[in-house]
Structure 1
């Protein structure tokens, strides 16, 4: 997936709000905030440092970024791509259990994960295993604490 598509995916997930929560900003956007402060003040004043809009804005000005800022944006997108692909695999593994136990659970803010944890003893073994491995990536994305 190219960087632009990844950034747009992040924006679609986040909407106009910060990408998931403050934890996401700390884990994914801290290097961007640090290395791109000048570029943010010049080109992206309206974007919050923990917001997917900052990544979109910086991408729109990619030809004007310093090398350290461009590298920070790239590194953040690589980390996000990895976490999202892991999350996608987790959802595929637990799809049937999600439909069975969590169909009426409102999605977002870790509620589906909490529902699976609550129903852990009745989940398929493959989903239980995926659940154990999913927490670090969900934390990186700011979905759970």
Structure 2
């Protein structure tokens, strides 16, 4: 791993966090339930995250199997995002404009590890040896 990888990760993660927060905050402002906002955000951010991390963070060719692995890995975010956002919004009673970004920061390390596994893992059986 070079110095470039963490810097690229932070840049792409920042874009993904901003996109996630925009979707969740906008969905909340129009009255969508939190579970729907989190699922909507997942679909949008997972697509963008896979492409951006694949091209810029890990510099790997994009492949269908990598996208599937990335979606599976990032699906761990669905319950985590819901619980973290629910905690900060409902239990701590922060407005969504604060709750969503705080919950997002809580998810950074998990996303790096899962994203790296999904994108960098060899895709052919011959590469596994």
Q: Which has the higher helix share?
A: 2
Q: TM-score, normalised by structure 1?
A: 0.32
Q: Kindly name which structure, 1 or 2, has the bigger radius of gyration based on alpha carbons.
A: 1
Q: TM-score, normalised by structure 2?
A: 0.34
